[in-house]
Amino acid sequence: MKFETLPIGDTIAAIRGVGRLNMVSAAALRETVSEALSTGRTRIVVDLSGIDFVDSSGLGALIGCLKSARQAGGDLRIAQLTAQVTMVLQLSNLDRVLKSYESTEAAYND
């Protein structure tokens, strides 16, 4: 899976992918977030509207990206969750760690 980054202002990056966030694609997400952080965009929004499946590797990538963003002085938020992603986050209690928003715009306007 390939992730695309949409820069928003000087400090925010919206990242979006389509497909499955799993062991195969987790590294691509980490790399995309790392690239955004290296450009000074420390506020990351991961748009999950195109993600129809997430597994433990995908959750691990999201948590790792959250940690990287916070270490860079920023934050990572998730937006536009699909039903499957919402269910997995709730079952793993990670919905308490990863703050989710209804839209990408709402995530960075908070």
Cα within 13 Å of Cα(77), Cβ side: 20
Q: Where are the domains of the chain?
A: 3-103
Average pLDDT over residues 67-92: 96
**d(C-alpha 37, C-alpha 66), whole Å:** 11
Q: What is the pTM of this model?
A: 0.94
**d(C-alpha 79, C-alpha 16), whole Å:** 10
For residue range 53-79, list pLDDT tens digits in order. Answer: 999 999 999 999 999 999 999 999 999
For residue range 14-25, list pLDDT tens digits in order. Answer: 999 999 999 999
Q: Which CATH architecture has domain 3-103?
A: 2-Layer Sandwich (3.30)
